[in-house]
A and B are shown apart, each in its own frame.
Chain A
Amino acid sequence: MVFSSFSFIFVFLPALLAVYFIVPARLRELRNIILLGFSIFFYACGGPKFLSLIVVSVLINYSFALPAAPGGSPPRRKAALVIAVIANLALLGFYKYAVFTVENINRLGAGFPVPEITLPIGISFFTFQGMSYLIDVYRGDAPAERNPLRVALYIFLFPQLVAGPIVRYTTIADEIHIREESTEDFASGSVRFCFGLAKKMLVANVLGELADAVFSTTPADLTSSLAWLGALAYTGQIYFDFSAYSDMAIGLGKIFGFHFLENFNYPYISKSITEFWRRWHISLSTWFRDYLYIPLGGNRCKISRQIFNILVVWTLTGLWHGAAWNFIVWGVYFAVLLLGERFVWGRILDRVPKFISHIYTMLLVVLSWVLFRSQTIGYALGMIKAMFGAGFADGRTVYYLKEYWWVLAAGTAAALPVKTLLERVTENNGDKHGFLPFIGVWGPKLAALVLLVLSYIRLVGSSFNPFIYFRF
């Protein structure tokens, strides 16, 4: 089930709201059980056959976190952690990387049968969340949970279950026990949900149509204008798709009293690749930073070791996104750029005019998305060649511009921090009862209602509704 589906918005969500809020807030455990039950159903809708897998993941993390918690003997704690991490990675490795591994071994001459494995929805997210719980408990950052249902709720919690953000256990550990649902949180959560839904339905999906049309064309048939249009459309699509899902997840969490951390912070206004990764998929980059990069030594070591650490982290970041060579190359591409900014041209970048550093960043980001979106590295190279090749204009580009001008314009505006600017204008003018504060309070809510209706219109008339991040 996806958030931008009729069944979720108009069946699952109203049913959950009714059942959850009819139970008095003092019966916290019962509310948790309701939330867990609905979350399990939410996951099962996508195909209950993988339900057992996530249950196994919960059981592993629950049972190994107890001996891994501070208080026991250090070797026993470490052994518990290592076994559980290996088990988590083994599950992820089998379901996500077995086919890729066998195919590559076969390319070297072996003749192993290629297994037929379906990727379980959200496996990358719930595996990383499970490991986050284990490691936080091992480090003593969070207590080991003795009630398995609470661990299950943390991993199963439907807003972040299948496409993130990767919620760290420490972020919501307290709220699983004690939280307070309020009208203010409900309102701001549902406003956030409506904005996320609109980003997905009205912008990401439409840009996706354009990107798909271009990326389904042989690179040899692409003019440079069309190749750029396709690359920019995908640049917009992936941001609005993924950030929309995060908005909806954060909003839904808030409705039920959970406060997840932000996952995006206007990444396309960045003036360096380093800044871009501080603003893009924050939960993933901080996960890798805290659980891999820093334990490897981070940047408090020799330069050669730093280079090694960054290469390892970004190769794995690429691999996390998908079992294909283009994702690995994509990760290495960012590793090289980040190393370049740290050791080679970072200082120059600080001194050039902002618009130049912004163009530099966006150019490299757009090229990275070409690599990311292409089915093969060969296609990506062909596309990049077309982007910088001859034959600028063609009828197809004209048609797509005429057909999609409105979403390109809306997307450009929505990728900029217009909302932050408006909030600043309406909140900080000193007059608490004037027109601007009125707009500041009512504007987002009325806009959210309008966007909800527009999204509903788009939803009922559209079958084009895949979430990109589901395959991770």
Chain B
Amino acid sequence: MRTAANRFFCICFVLFLFSVVAVTLLYSDGNVSYYENRTLASAPTLSGESLLSGEYFDGWESYLCDHAAGRTTLLRLKTRVELDLLFLPVVNDILVCPDVLLGFNSYGVWDTSYLSESADELADGLLSLQEDMKGYLCYVGLPHQYSYYSSKYPDYLENREWLKEAARSAVSSALSERGIAFVDMALIFDSLGRPDEMYSATDHHYSYLGAIETYRAVLERINNDTGLGLTILSNDDYSFIRLPNPFMGSRNRRLYGLRDMGERAYIAILNEPIPFERYNDGAKAEPVVFSLPQTETETITYNIYMGGDFTETRICTNREELPNALIFGDSFTNAAETLLYTAFNETRSLDLRYYKEKTLREYILEWQPDVVICIRDDTTYFEYTGNGYLG
């Protein structure tokens, strides 16, 4: 019996070693990990320096781990075990609550006195922009999903409420001192009682309802401050449609789609459509603001709103009597843009992470939009690169 067991084990062991390497080398899942939302490591290039430092072999290790046989399936299995067998509170850096998925915040408390200086820097940048341009500038602050649901964090975890509140307050004071319009959506959502339906349970953005509320708050503020009299759509002006497709929120995506919480995406279809032309990065595109799937079973993401991020999007409704608007900021802009364009003649949005042709200031001074809307979430107020670069 012992000899048979030894032989059996040796065969299994050797077969496992050889089959893993064979499948890894012969079968490729591609170069992108959908669930991790990243490009997989590529094979390293050989150079004298990389060979001598050991980087070359480290590169192979990263490549092989990323392209290992059955990697996605095994990682999904690992996530399943951690969720449903070990019942870990945080899996793949996602806090799994019964009704919502939230980001895990590392522990630590620090002095927040630097925030007022940071807020002054932000406000000075915006003020400089406002002084140089002819139009009206409106800064919109949104709670990030984890800030919105801060009360859902268990007592033993860090929700960073102390930091978010201090940041919001600092930004509000700094903008107010300089006379810059600030739409603080946290206060507006608070006045509504922070209803759960305003924010996604499985994605780091708001829900479409939250986007509608933001759209209304922004236009009301513009109308109040400028008297432009922009049309604000009411619930009677559109049909609110729940898409039947499975929705893959970014947080659920990190859990390999194992916790969708039954969440579905919504869109608003205008009862009286406004014709428009759309240009993505200068090229004429299909005139739609929702990127809808072909079938009802196809999985959709937040990217259905405006079709995701583009470097430059232009929506021309050809109503020259209306003002023009420029929108920039985080991906929170995407869902709001699907309604904001209805109020303007031409609406442009820039993704400053990728737009390199001109600086934001040059772009504004050249085009001279009547309204500039900056939409930021409360985790990015003080980021001055990418979409936070105001130069």
Contact = CB atoms under 8 A, between A and B. Distances in A.
A398 B155 CA distance: 10
A403 B21 CA distance: 33
B9 interface: yes
Contacts of A7: 57, 60-61, 64
Nearest to A398: B156
Given A452-B16, A457-B77, A191 B9 contact: yes
B30 interface: no
B26 interface: no
Give the size category of B's interface with A. Answer: 35 or more
B2 to A, nearest CB: 5
A contact patch SS? helix
A187 B64 contact: no
Interface stretch (A23-31, A42-50, A91-99, A281-289): A42-50
Interface residues of A, number: 49
B13 A190 contact: yes
Interface stretch (A153-161, A235-243, A311-319, A436-444): A436-444
A184 interface: yes
A355 interface: no
A110 interface: no
B1 A461 contact: no
A456 interface: yes
B52 A395 contact: no
A448 B78 contact: no
B157 A10 contact: no
B54 A438 contact: no
A60 interface: no
B18 to A, nearest CB: 5
B285 interface: no
B51 interface: yes
B260 to A, nearest CB: 21
A406 B10 contact: no
Interface of B is mostly: helix
A14 B17 contact: yes
B14 interface: yes
Contacts of B21: 10-11, 14
B368 interface: no
A226 to B, nearest CB: 10
A47 B53 CA distance: 5
B8 A445 contact: yes
B5 interface: yes
Contacts of A1: 57
Contact of A10 (B6, B24, B71, B155): B24
B16 A445 contact: no
A63 interface: no
Contacts of B65: 6, 459-460, 463
A188 B9 CA distance: 9
B377 to A, nearest CB: 25
* Central interface residue in B6, B9, B14, B74, by most chain A CB within 10 Å: B9
Interface of A: 1, 5-7, 9-11, 13-14, 17, 45-49, 183-184, 186-188, 190-191, 194, 217, 221, 395-396, 398-399, 402-403, 406, 433, 437-438, 441-442, 445, 448-449, 452-453, 456-461, 463
5 contacts: A7-B57, A395-B157, A441-B5, A449-B9, A456-B68
Given A11-B64, A398-B156, A460-B68, 6 more contacts: A17-B17, A47-B54, A184-B6, A395-B157, A438-B1, A448-B13
Closest CB pairs A-B (n = 3)? A395-B156, A47-B54, A187-B6
